[in-house]
Amino acid sequence: MKIFIDSAQIEEIKALEDLGVISGITTNPTLASVTGKKFKDLVSEIFTTLSKDRIINLEVIATDYDTILIQGRALAALDERVVVKIPCIPEGLKACKTLSEEGIRVNITLVFSPMQALLSANAGAYFVSPFVGRLDDIAMDGMETVSEIVKIYRTYDYKTQVLFASVRSVEHIRLAALAGVDIVTSPYKLIMEMYKHPLTDTGLTQFLEDWNNAKEEFIV
Ligand code: E4P
């Protein structure tokens, strides 16, 4: 299962790029706007921060077919790593079909039901992004929604990849992996938490203490 970082903060993206654990990033208009940077500048910083084979999800801000097409084509033309995020609305799915036929990869976002995911796959989406945390936030079962999407896609052999979004905890990421999703996009903080285990810390302290007490010399 691949991991993307859900962020528009360059320091966070760079830190995880350097650690080598991410395959790409997702952004959205909210994440981009809180940076306070001009979108153009932000996007070009993202391009230079990430290496060649990464995926960069950038979202349109239009809701009508024609403008979604204009914005989607413009975003895709910026860099070959771009996947265009489009909201799951009728005009969006129509644009998804057109752009996909042109060879532009589309991520259908703001997906909250298996039926929306089914339509997205039929419209040729490259990724579908169920927002699990936002479903959980309103006392619905986000995990069940994702599991159903995975099951439907596998049953009918859809090529659309499931991108588990709106992650709220490391437990979400564990459950996503068990459910067989293709990718999880997570905030920086949770990816860093994935590294942690108290037994790793105590084990390492013990190893180094024992080594130092033995007064051995290392190879280099
Ligand atoms: C994904 O593409 C979205 O940007 C993101 O996961 C939304 O998460 P939120 O519900 O924490 O805003």
Number of domains in the chain: 1
Over residues 189-218, the mean pLDDT reads 97
Over residues 23-39, the mean pLDDT reads 98
The protein residue whose alpha carbon is closest to atom 12 in ligand 1 is: 166
Block residue for tokens 């579908």: 128
Q: Report yes or no on 46 lying in a domain.
A: yes
Dump pLDDT digits (tens) for 189-199: 999 999 999 99
Block residue for tokens 């995926």: 55
Pocket-testing residue among 2, 12, 28, ligand 1, by greatest number of atoms within 8 A of Cβ: 28
d(CA 100, CA 115): 20
Dump pLDDT digits (tens) for 63-114: 999 999 999 999 999 999 999 999 999 999 999 999 999 999 999 999 999 9
d(CA 29, CA 34): 9
- The single-letter code of the amino acid at 169 is S
Counting atoms of ligand 1 from 1, which one is nearest the CA of 59? Answer: 2
d(CA 33, CA 29): 6
Q: Report yes or no on 220 lying in a domain.
A: no
Alpha carbon of 28 to ligand 1 centroid (Å) = 7
Q: Report yes or no on 219 lying in a domain.
A: no
Counting atoms of ligand 1 from 1, which one is nearest the CA of 168? Answer: 11
Q: Report yes or no on 45 lying in a domain.
A: yes
Pocket-testing residue among 59, 131, 136, ligand 1, by greatest number of atoms within 8 A of Cβ: 131
Burial class (CB within 10 angstroms; exposed 0-12, middle 13-18, buried 19+) of 206: exposed
d(CA 147, CA 11): 33
Output the domain CATH number for residue 9. Answer: 3.20.20.70
Confidence class for position 172, pLDDT limits 50, 70, 90: very high
d(CA 75, CA 57): 10
Alpha carbon of 109 to ligand 1 centroid (Å) = 9
Query: Which run of H or E residues covers position 151?
Result: helix 142-155
Over residues 113-133, the mean pLDDT reads 98
Query: Which run of H or E residues covers position 99?
Result: helix 90-101
Output DSSP code: residue 194: H
Alpha carbon of 186 to ligand 1 centroid (Å) = 8
pLDDT of res. 145: 98
Q: Report yes or no on 83 lying in a domain.
A: yes
Confidence class for position 213, pLDDT limits 50, 70, 90: very high
Phi-psi map region of 68: left, alpha, beta (phi>0 left; psi -120 to 50 alpha): alpha
Which candidate in 2, 14, 85, 215 is catalytic?
Answer: 85
Q: What average pLDDT does the structure give for the chain? A: 98
> CB under 6 Å to ligand 1: residues?
6, 26, 28, 109, 129, 131, 133-134, 165-166, 185
- The single-letter code of the amino acid at 149 is I
Q: Could you list the residue range(s) of the whole structural domain that residue 59 is in? A: 2-214
pLDDT of res. 26: 98
Taking CA atoms, 100 is separated from 54, 113, 119, 151, 190, in Å, by 19, 22, 14, 23, 32
Counting atoms of ligand 1 from 1, which one is nearest the CA of 137? Answer: 10
Pocket-testing residue among 3, 6, 26, ligand 1, by greatest number of atoms within 8 A of Cβ: 6
